[in-house]
């Protein structure tokens, strides 16, 4: 799995402050023998699993890395998902309309990658001209992925279409475990939370402070920056919680299925809060082109993108319990409809009101509906928008529709939406 070197280096820079262990190397004679020999026993001790097969490590040039990244992103399934998600993010105002997301991500990942583990070849690759100070960190991190792949398929969740939130949760476990165990190994297997000065907030600050060394990352839209950082830091905190609460158990046997469960320990470790599955009915007067989910984390990013208020974004998304959006074509152009399910009527009402503020900020539009109305209509910037709140089988839901001017907002029969816990 690709290693975002600058992100991992930020974690490791803090960990090194507290690192004072002295390990005896195991026998390993392949490339980067010293780094691998030191890392393997430390990782096995930290994770509690043994390598079934000796890890393979090889060098790759920068052009070969770009070729690998390009191949991953242009794979038919990945390309289809990326095109749909890019169109959705643009329609939701989360990335610029002019951004070529596929090319941008290839450039971004080439900037970030110092090494990667490829589940298809079962080989850990290290960039041949990588800075010496980051090679050992990269090898340790990617060896965790190599170990993971011997016990669970790293590719399995990526083959599921239309389940972005579930994929993000799985990615947070894989990357979070690699970060946590990498740092734990550097600290001699000690508790990361107890020995990481400043904790994960300090790591996040360091990533922000180091943006000058990551020019492409620095100019990335918020949604791209945050979704890159999320699996490393929030995932590492989830893994810490799992190890503290379930000593000796494997997280692979009980994986989180939503970013809500990553973000809120009580949603996973307390009374399990499984997300509500949303099934959308056939559209009226429109042709579907793509479906997916945002999840609580990206709903938070959507609110922050437009409101620039972290408290409103966090609180407004906190009652999330499920969602699904659909992109579609109308005779007048592209539109999007987004159904969200909420834990309580109060949560739904809060999100409904925040949606009104989002539309006002983004389009400079005011609703033509009366205060307190459960359906609000807006018209501005060549778009027609409608937000509504209701209940389906006693569950509070909010519907957001954005279509070109002249197209009908009545594309979804809200009463025909299916919900399954």
Based on the fold, state whether residues 290 and 262 are members of the same structural domain: no
Q: What element of type H or E holds 340?
A: strand 333-342
Q: Are strands 123-127 and 56-60 parallel, antiparallel or unpaired?
A: parallel
More confident residue, 184 or 117: 117
The string of pLDDT tens digits covering residues 333-352 is 999 999 999 999 999 999 99
Position with higher pLDDT, 400 vs 252: 400
What is the pLDDT at residue 211?
Answer: 59
What's the mean pLDDT when you consider all of the chain? 87
Domain end marker among 220, 244, 269: 269
Q: Which of 3, 370, 338, 322 is nearest to 178 (CA)?
A: 3
Residues 116 and 30 in one domain: yes
The answer to whether 130 touches 114, Cβ cutoff 8 Å, is yes
Q: Under a CB-based contact definition with an 8 Å cutoff, are residues 291 and 85 in contact? A: no
- 331 and 256 in a single domain? The answer is no
**Position 7 pLDDT exceeds 60:** no
Q: Are residues 255 and 339 in the same domain?
A: no
What residues contact residue 322 under an 8 Å CB cut-off, 6+ apart?
275, 276, 277, 278, 293, 340, 341, 419
- What's the whole-number mean pLDDT along residues 180-208? 66
Taking 70 as the threshold, does the pLDDT of residue 370 lie above it?
Answer: no
Q: Where are the alpha helices (DSSP H) in 364-387?
A: none
**Residue 413 confidence (pLDDT) above 90:** yes
For residue 20, name the pLDDT band (cuts at 50, 70, 90): very low
Whether 142 and 260 map to the same domain: the answer is yes
With 50 as the cut, is the pLDDT of residue 21 above it?
A: no
Average pLDDT over residues 19-23: 36
Res. 28 pLDDT band, cuts 50 70 90 = low
Q: How far apart are CA 413 and CA 11, in angstroms?
A: 48
In terms of residue numbers, what domain contains 387?
277-420
Q: What is the pLDDT of residues 215-267, one digit of tens each?
A: 999 899 999 999 999 998 899 899 989 999 998 888 988 999 999 999 999 99
Q: 244 and 311: one domain?
A: no
Please tell me the total count of domains within the chain: 2
Same structural domain, 252 and 184? yes
Residues 6 or more apart in contact with residue 38 via CB below 8 angstroms:
23, 25, 136
Domain identity same for 319 and 261: no
For residue 13, what pLDDT is reported?
40
Residue 320 belongs to a domain with what CATH number?
Answer: 3.40.1000
| pLDDT at residue 365, rounded to an integer | 83
Contact in structure between 221 and 94 (CB atoms under 8 Å): yes
The pLDDT of residue 5: 44
What DSSP element (H or E) covers 126? strand 123-127
141 three-state secondary structure: helix
Residue 276: name the closest of 234, 322, 220, 221 by CA: 322
Q: For residues 174-192, give the mean pLDDT.
A: 77
Evaluated on CA atoms 38, 15, 238, 219, the torsion sign reads negative
Name the domain boundary from 244, 269, 294.
269
- pTM here is 0.90
**Closest by CA position to 297, among listed 205, 220, 216, 228:** 228
Q: What percent of the chain has pLDDT over 70?
A: 86
* 367 has pLDDT over 60: yes
The helix (H) or strand (E) run that includes residue 395 is strand 395-404
Residues 339 and 257 grouped into a single domain = no
CA dihedral 248, 141, 214, 296 (to 10 degrees): -30
Last-in-domain residue among 269, 304, 331: 269
Alpha-carbon span 59 to 65, nearest angstrom: 10
DSSP 306-334: HH--HHHHHHHHTTEEEEEEEEEEETTEE
Q: Using DSSP bridges, classify how beta strands 277-279 and 123-127 pair: parallel, antiparallel or unpaired.
A: unpaired
Reported as a pLDDT band with limits 50, 70 and 90, residue 285 is very high
Give the single-character DSSP code of 415.
Answer: G
| pLDDT value of residue 9 | 44
Q: How many CA atoms, within 13 angstroms, populate the side-chain half-sphere of residue 305?
A: 24
Residue 89 or residue 46, greater confidence: 89
- Whether residues 14 and 75 fall in one domain: yes
pLDDT at 193: 55
Q: Do 281 and 263 share a structural domain?
A: no
In this structure, are 299 and 228 located in the same domain? no
Rounded to whole angstroms, how far apart are CA atoms 214 and 113? Answer: 11
Identify which of 214, 241, 243, 247 has the alpha carbon closest to the alpha carbon of residue 229: 214
């Amino acid at each position: 799995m690709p290693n975002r070197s600058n992100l991992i280096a930020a974690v490791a820079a803090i960990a090194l402050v507290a690192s004072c262990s002295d390990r005896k190397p195991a026998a390993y004679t392949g490339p980067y023998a010293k780094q691998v020999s030191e890392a393997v026993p430390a990782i096995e001790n930290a994770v509690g699993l043994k390598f079934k097969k000796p890890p393979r490590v090889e060098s790759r040039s920068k052009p070969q890395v770009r070729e690998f990244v390009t191949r991953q992103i242009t794979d038919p399934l990945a390309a289809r998902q990326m095109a749909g998600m890019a169109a959705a993010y643009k329609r939701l105002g989360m990335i610029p309309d002019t951004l070529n997301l596929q090319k941008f991500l290839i450039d971004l990942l080439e900037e970030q990658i110092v090494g990667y583990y490829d589940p298809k070849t079962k080989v850990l690759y290290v960039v041949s001209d990588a800075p010496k100070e980051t090679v050992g960190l990269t090898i340790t991190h990617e060896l965790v992925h190599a170990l993971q792949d011997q016990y669970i398929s790293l590719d399995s969740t990526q083959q599921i279409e239309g389940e972005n939130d579930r994929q993000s949760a799985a990615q947070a476990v894989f990357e979070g475990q690699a970060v946590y165990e990498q740092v734990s190994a550097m600290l001699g297997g000690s508790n990361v939370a107890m020995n990481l000065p400043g904790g994960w907030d300090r790591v996040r600050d360091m990533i922000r402070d180091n943006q000058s060394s990551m020019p492409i990352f620095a100019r990335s839209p918020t949604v791209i920056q945050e979704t890159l950082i999320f699996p490393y830091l929030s995932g590492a905190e989830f893994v810490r919680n799992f190890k503290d609460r379930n000593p000796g158990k494997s997280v692979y046997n009980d994986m989180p299925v939503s970013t809500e469960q990553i973000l809120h320990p009580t949603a996973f470790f307390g009374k399990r809060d499984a997300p509500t599955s949303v099934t959308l009915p056939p559209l009226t007067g429109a042709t579907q082109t793509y479906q997916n989910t945002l999840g609580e984390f990206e709903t938070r990013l959507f609110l922050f993108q437009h409101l620039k208020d972290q408290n409103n974004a966090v609180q407004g998304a906190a009652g999330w319990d499920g969602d699904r959006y659909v992109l579609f074509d109308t005779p007048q152009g592209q539109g999007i409809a987004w159904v969200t399910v909420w834990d309580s009527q109060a949560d739904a009402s809060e999100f409904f009101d925040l949606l009104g503020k989002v539309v006002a900020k983004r389009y400079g539009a005011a609703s033509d509906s009366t205060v307190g109305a459960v359906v609000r209509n807006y018209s501005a910037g060549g778009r027609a928008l409608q937000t509504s709140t209701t209940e389906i089988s006693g569950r509070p839901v909010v519907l957001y529709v954005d279509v070109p001017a002249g197209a009908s907002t009545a594309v979804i029969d809200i009463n025909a939406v299916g919900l399954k816990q």
